[in-house]
Amino acid sequence: MYRILMLVLFVVGFIQMEKLTAQGNPELYLPTDEQRGNWAVKDSVQTYADEDLYLYIDGGADVYLEYGFKKVASCKYQNPSANRMHIEIYQMKDPDAAYGIFSLNSTGLGHPLDLGDLSYQYDYYLDVWKTSYFIRCTISRKEAGALDTLKLFASVVLENIIGEGKEPLINGIIQLENHPLKNLKYIRGQIALGNIFNFGQGSIAAFDQGVTARSGDLSFYVFGYQDDHKRREWFASAKGKMYSSRKFDDFVAMEDGFTVKDKTGKSFSFKPYRQFFIVIAGKDWEEAKPLFEEMMKNIDQIYP
Amino acid sequence: MVVKKDTLIILHILKKLPDLSVYSLNLTLINQVVMSKKITRRKFIADTGKATAAVAGTVALQGMTFPSILDPEADIAVVNGSDYFKSTLKAIDLLGGMGKFVNEGAHVGLLINSDFDVEGAYVDPDISIAAIKMLWDAGATKITCLQVVKEEYWQRSNLFEEYKDLISKLDQVESNTFPSEYNETDFIKLKNVPAWKSLKETEVVRSWLECDVFVNIPVSKHHATTQLTCALKNIMGVSTRQANVTFHLGSGERNNPDYLAQCIVDQYMMKKTDLCIIDSTNFITDNGPSGPGTIKTLNKVIAGTDVVALDAMTSEFLDLYPEDVYTTVKAHESGIGDMDYQKLKIVEVNV
C-alpha cells in the first residue's frame, strides 16, 4: 500500500514538474502526437519572442507589444479531410496583459465557454485567457464536430498551464448598479485605445492602464496613472487638447472637470479623481454626476 | 551586372523626374541612391550620359504642376454601387479611361492590399479584377504584383472563373510575401536620401522603381497606430519586413506614430503613384489592420492620382479629420499631394 502511494505521489510529482518546466515555453503546451488523434502537424512549430513578433503578425503586433508580450508558439494541423486547425499560444508579461489582449480581441458576439479563466467561442475560432496566456484556436472549415475538436485541443493546452488569473483591479471601477456592461476592455496604451475610440492623436496620453465598456448608449473610460501628480499633468494636457480639438465642440470647464460634445451632439464628461480620470460619454455633466460618484466610491474601495 | 541594373533604375527615375520634381527629388537624391549601391558619381555620369544629366537639370527648373481645371476629367472619381467590378470600371472611366495612365507596352507595378483573411481588411477582389482587366485592355504587356497575391484571394471573387486567364498572366515578386526578406534579385537598398526626414535606410521591391506605371490599390480601413491605413500606409507592402520593423522601432521609442508616419512618407516619395483605386465598399473601423472589427459599408470605389487627397477624403469615412492622420499631414508637408481634397474636381456617381 505504501509503495503504491509512493508511486502515485511520484507520478503526480513528475507531472507537476513537467508542467513547471514547461512554464515559459508555450511551444511545450501544444498537443503531443498522442493527444492529436488524426490531426497531423502541417508546418513545424513556430515561436517568436519579443520584437520578433513583427515577423509573425502582419499588422497588429504593436498592440501586443504595448500590452507586454513575451513569446508566441504557433502550429498548424491538418486532418485527413484536409481541414486545417491553427493554435496560437501567446505568453504575455503578466496576467493583466494576457487578459487585456483577450478583452481587446473580444467582439462582444462570442459564446462564453467553460475553459480557462475566461473564454469565448466565435463562428470559426475560440479565444481563451488563462493566467499570463492568451490562446486562439482557429479552424479553417466549419465541418461537423470541428468546434468540439477546437475545444478539445484548447483543453489539452490549458491542462499544461498552471494557475488562475484574476481580472485587473481597475475593471471594478466601472462596475455600476443598474448599468450592465458590454464590450469591457482593459487597455494599456494609445494603440489599444485607438482600437476602441479615437479621442484625437495624443489627446489622452501616457496612461499606465485603463478600462472601457459600454452600457446601452453610454460609454465609460477610466484612465489610471502612476500617481496623482502624473494624472494632474496628463489631465491638464487632455483638457488643452480637447479645448482646441476640431473633433469636439462646446467645451465647458466645470469646477472639477470639463465637458465637450462631438459632432453628433453627444456629451463627453471628464472628471479627475486621485490617480485616475474618468470619461463618461452619452450624458451631460449633471446626468453624469451620480455615475462619477459611484465610480469614485469604487476607486476608494478598490484602492484604499 | 548588378551595377547595370541599378543604373537602369536610376535612368528610369530620371525619366520620371518631371513628376518627381514635386517631391523635391533632385540630382543629389539620385546621387544618394547611386552611392548607396557603391556606384561612384563618375561612373554614374558615365553610364547614364550627359544627355540624361541635362534632362535632369532642366527638370530641376520646372517644379510646377498644371491646374486641374484644364483637365476635363475628374481628379477624384467616387462611384457608389454594390457591383464593385462595374464601379471600378466606371471610376476609371470618369478619370479619363485607363489609356490615360497606361501606354501600349507598359510594365505596370500593382500593389494590392490583399493579404488579410477577414472581410473589410482586404481589397474586394472584384475591384482588383476590374483593374487588371482594364490594365491588360489598355495595352500593358507586363503587370507585376509587387507583393504576392495568393490564389485564394482571387478565388474569393465570383468573377474568378471568368477572368482566371487574365489573372494567370500576372507576374509576381514571389519573395515579397510576409515576412519578406531582402535578396538582391528582387529588392534594392535605399540609404540616406536627403529628402528623407526620418528614414535612414529601406529595402524596396526593385519592380516598384522599375515599372513604368505604378498602380496602388488599398482598402480604406482602421489601423491602430496610424488611425487610417489607405494609399500611403499601403506602401509598406513594397518593403521587406526588416525595413518595416525599423519604421516601428527606429526612433528608439517603440511605436512612435509620428516617426512611423514620417518613414512611410519618406519611402512613398521614391515613386510617383500613377493611379490609385481605393476600396471603400466594406471596411473595418476598429481592430485594424487585420480585424475582425466593426464593418462599415459605404459601397464606394474611389479613384484618383493624388494619394494624399484620397487618404484625406477616406479618413472621413472613419470619422477622422484628415489632420488627425499623421501620414496625411506629413505627406502633404512633403509635397506628395494636397490634403485639401475639396479643391480638386470630385465627380460622384451611382451605378
Find the closest chain A residue to B114 by CA distance: A58
Which pTM value belongs to this model? 0.80
Contact criterion met (CB < 8 Å) for B257 and A201: yes
Q: For residue B244, which residues of chain A lie inside 8 Å, CB to CB? A: 54
Distances B4 to A71, B39, B44, B344 between C-alpha atoms, Å: 44, 10, 10, 41
SS3 A25: coil
Whether residue B52 is predicted with pLDDT greater than 60 in this model: the reply is no
Written out in words, the top-level CATH class of the domain with range A169-302 is alpha beta
For β-strands A111-112 and A118-121, DSSP reports them as antiparallel
Q: For residue B116, which residues of chain A lie inside 8 Å, CB to CB? A: 58-59
For β-strands B107-112 and B142-145, DSSP reports them as parallel
Q: Which amino acid is at B249?
A: L
- For domain A26-159, which CATH number applies: 3.40.1000.70, 3.60.20.10, 3.40.630.30, 3.60.10.10? 3.40.1000.70
Q: Residues of CATH 3.40.1000.70 domain(s) within chain A? A: 26-159, 169-302
Averaged in consecutive runs of 10 residues, what is the pLDDT profile of chain A (304 residues)? 61 53 80 91 92 89 94 95 93 98 90 96 92 94 85 95 96 96 94 86 85 96 95 93 90 94 94 97 96 98 96
Residues paired with residue B229 on neighbouring β-strands, in sequence order: B221
Q: For residue A65, which residues of chain B lie inside 8 Å, CB to CB? A: 254-255
CB-based contacts of B48, cutoff 8 Å, min separation 6: B7, B10, B11, B14
SS3 B72: coil
Confidence band of B288 (pLDDT split at 50, 70, 90)? confident
For the structural domain made of B68-350, what CATH number should be given?
3.40.50.11440
Segment B72-86, tens digit of pLDDT:
789 999 999 999 999
Q: Which residue has the higher pLDDT, B26 or A126?
A: A126
Q: Is the dihedral of CA B335, B339, B342, B347 positive or negative?
A: positive
Q: How far apart are CA B60 and CA B122, in angstroms?
A: 39
Best A201, A219, A263 member to test B by mutation, with max B CBs in 10 Å, is A201
SS3 B296: strand
CB-nearest partner of A191 from B244, B255, B319: B255
Contact criterion met (CB < 8 Å) for B257 and A192: no
Distance from CA of A259 to the nearest CA of B (A): 20
The ipTM value here is 0.76
Find the closest chain B residue to A201 by CA distance: B324
Q: For residue B293, which residues of chain A lie inside 8 Å, CB to CB? A: 195
* Averaged pLDDT, B296-317: 98
Confidence band of B242 (pLDDT split at 50, 70, 90)? very high
The domain limits of chain B are: 2-62, 68-350
**A88 in Cβ contact with A26 (< 8 Å):** no
* Averaged pLDDT, B179-205: 96
Find the closest chain A residue to B318 by CA distance: A198
